Structure 1
Amino acid sequence: MQPLEAGEPPTIGPYRLLGRLGSGGMGRVYLARSAGGRTVAVKVVHPHFATDEEFRARFRREVEAARRVGTGPDGPRWSAPVLDADPEAAVPWVATAYVAGPSLTQAVAGHGRLPEDSVRALGAGLAEALTAVHALGLVHRDVKPSNVLLSLDGPRLIDFGIARATDGTASLTSTGVSVGSPGYMSPEQILGKGITGAADVFSLGAVLVYASTGESPFPGDSSAALLYKVVHEEPELGALGGGLRDLAARCLAKEPSARPTPDEVARVLAPGGAAGLVAAGW
């Protein structure tokens, strides 16, 4: 966490900011505390998005969708539920439950690939989260290592809303901001085809490979190279072996209909449920 800089607000809505957790193309994320003492993560979009009425409309819809995920029967367990939001603020913001733990990106960069038991618990938890999301008629569309947090009580899939709210807005074109991560987007996303829950399964497969090997299944030194590989080349699965290799390969099928459902992924990785694997020490 970084200290607040000059010019950054001391509060957002009813929350007192404690420090900056990160920033990116969509906005900044702050650690904050409510008047009642609850610690939350507050995401604030960049000011230039606030002037885009199409963005505001999308943001409003995505916040409502994220709230639905948070109130679903399985949503809260493996996701960070939305607690509060103000799409109508001068600069829109959303507050989610704070998850204490590194992102998968940080964990792999700092400590290397995860052991197989941890990968199975990780994949099963994320698959169960996606099952709940898809049951609501929603698609996450941005499953990637930096959107997966590793807490002591299991993985959390985060970042519902802001990335998708920017998709297709005028601000995207004018600023060159890219939605999603090229090495983790499905071929149909890249080609601009219809998006279904199968796109999330493709991304989940790429995340499983990254967690298991420490490398993306589509390595490259430019966005263009990554996008080309995802669409036209087979994934590089490295030393991934056994059942995990077969499952990842199925998830990474170019044809959406050839991929398993999230529920199938969860049952393969954890027949008794992800919670059991996490409780056993993941």
Structure 2
Amino acid sequence: MAPLRAGDPQRIGDYRLIARLGEGGMGTVFLARSDRGRTVAVKLVRGELADQEEFRARFRREVRAAQQVGGEWTAPVLDADTEAETPWVATGYIAGPSLQQVVGRGGTPLPERTVRILASGLARALQAIHAAGIVHRDLKPSNVLLTIDGPRVIDFGIARALEAVTDNGMTRTGATVGSPGFMAPEQVRGKAIGPACDIFSLGSVLMYAATGRQPFGTTETGVHAVMYRIAQEEPDLSTLPAGLHDLVAACLAKDPDQRPTPARLLAMAEGSATGTADAADTTVDTAADTTGESAAESAADDEPWLPGALIARLGRHAIELLEAENPEGESPATAPHPPLTPPPASVAPRPPRRRRRVGGALMAAVLLVLAGAATTYLLLNKDDGVRVEGKQGKDGQGPDRHAGNGGIPADYLGTWEAPAGTGAAVYRFTLKQGSPGDTVLTMTATGPAYRCEFRASLVKAGPPVRLGPSMVVAGKPTNCSPGSPSTLEMVDGKLRRAMEGQAPKTYSKKG
């Protein structure tokens, strides 16, 4: 983290900026916090890119697709404004260093066991990304973050948006599309790419994690030399531990059709790569969900997946984050917006499919530091029943006082409906005209055993239309819970409603 600079904004959307996290070809990334205390990473697009309609259109599509990706092994996209003068996107903040920082800064490769668990987590991340119809295109060590509970992948879809402004392989801001040492042969040759491109990049990432070296050399010998070797020569795996050789070599096959799918890679990484690739593909989660656990999975339950020194570093980072979240000179007790949510995913994460043990003494120390914030969160967000809409979210409890006074677009008004799941369950809402602060949305969620009624006020008329948190006006508390702020966007004649922490839902017009 670095301090904000003189020219940096103090707020972006509904988020107060705290520090700088980095800068790249797309723009600047800031550490930020919502008015209700959620810590996020906000990426603000470069002004010269925002002025290009082709880029903005591609960015709009990629953000929409990225919002479909689940957040267990990735940094979930929580919010965005693709129509702002300078577009931005907010993702869940992952409080952990990148693989590049861990291996590159100290020059210390990760143990073989850790690399296998890394491969397993990255395979699951790619499953989620590819299921949303996205090819990452720029999987590299700096886009892999390490947390106590496993790796997280960030910046999926970004490279595709940057392709809109490429010129002979370079963006107009001077950054390449993709990273030369981690590109696939089909990327180097300028051919059409698919999910297998990410598998090749993953193989290069694993080689780097295990040895500190790249399989085709570094760009110190020249970018074009590296690209030639990627396209024409075999990787140098001579320093790779023997136990990882087959795994990495399979990923680095020149022919995309010969590379393993994420499901097959998962089976290989977890030590249960038996049978054909087709069999592995049809049983995506059987490598760890069946009674026949793999040796790697069992070992992962017995001790932390990361070396002890790195876990200690993550604990220190969590403490630094808590300090950074409070304005200078204020204690957590006196800050105007004390944290109401748990710290980021690496310390108090949503439980992954299989948790890794951290170690009693160290984890106890970290949890003691975080106990106050976590307890406050639990007390203020207690939920005794089934969620219909989702938890109270990031935006605070009222409309944006600076929202514009324009009316809601006419084609957004009326009654809209979407299935709420299986069977006869359905969501139905009516949107009417109003000004910021007015109740403009009334909604029912009905199923065989429940009926909930909600209302929400207008924050900004848009488009897209921004609504405040939905409030329960009728229904049993055990079935109905208030929802987080939401955004309505017209997509091909239908309304897409996006809420924090949930997959967007598409509604059809009913009246």
- For the superposition of Structure 1 and Structure 2, which TM-score range results when normalised by the shorter chain? over 0.9
Q: How does 1:3-152 map to 2 (within 5 A)?
A: 3-70=3-70, 76-111=71-106, 112-152=108-148
- Judging by fraction of residues, say which structure has more helix: 1
**What is the TM-score of this pair, normalised by structure 1?**
0.93
Q: What's the CA shift string for 1:194-233, capped at 9, x where partnerless?
A: 1111100000000010000011111131221211111111
Higher relative contact order (CA 8 A, sep 6+): 1
Match of 2:164 among 154, 162, 168: 168
Give the residue type in structure 1 aligned to 2:213.
E
Give the residue type in structure 1 aligned to 2:117.
A
> Matched residue pairs, number?
277
Contact 1:43 1:95 in 2 (8 A): yes
Q: What's the CA shift string for 1:28-77, capped at 9, x where partnerless?
A: 1110000000100001111100000000000001101110113xxxxx21
Distance 1:161 1:205 in 2: 19
CA distance 1:275–1:68, shift in 2 (3 Å): farther
Contact 1:121 1:277 in 2 (8 A): no
Is 1:208 the counterpart of 2:210? The answer is no
Contact 1:153 1:278 in 2 (8 A): no
Query: Residue 226 of structure 1: SS of its match in structure 2?
Result: helix
Contact 1:79 1:156 in 2 (8 A): yes
**What is the TM-score of this pair, normalised by structure 2?**
0.52
Is 1:253 the counterpart of 2:214? The answer is no
Distance 1:120 1:109 in 2: 19
Is 1:281 the counterpart of 2:304? The answer is yes
Contact 2:135 2:157 in 1 (8 A): no
Contact 1:154 1:278 in 2 (8 A): no
Q: Which residue matches 1:189?
A: 187
Distance 1:2 1:246 in 2: 41
CA distance 1:101–1:83, shift in 2 (3 Å): same
Match of 1:155 among 151, 154, 157: 151
Q: What's the CA shift string for 1:134-178, capped at 9, x where partnerless?
A: 223321111100000001111000002332211132685543321
Ranges in structure 1 where 5+ consecutive residues have no aligned partner: 71-75
CA distance 1:170–1:239, shift in 2 (3 Å): closer
Distance 1:133 1:26 in 2: 20
Contact 1:39 1:98 in 2 (8 A): yes
> What is the CA RMSD across the aligned residues, in angstroms?
1.7
Distance 1:34 1:176 in 2: 32
Match of 2:178 among 173, 177, 180: 180
Contact 1:52 1:170 in 2 (8 A): no
Q: Which has the larger radius of gyration?
A: 2
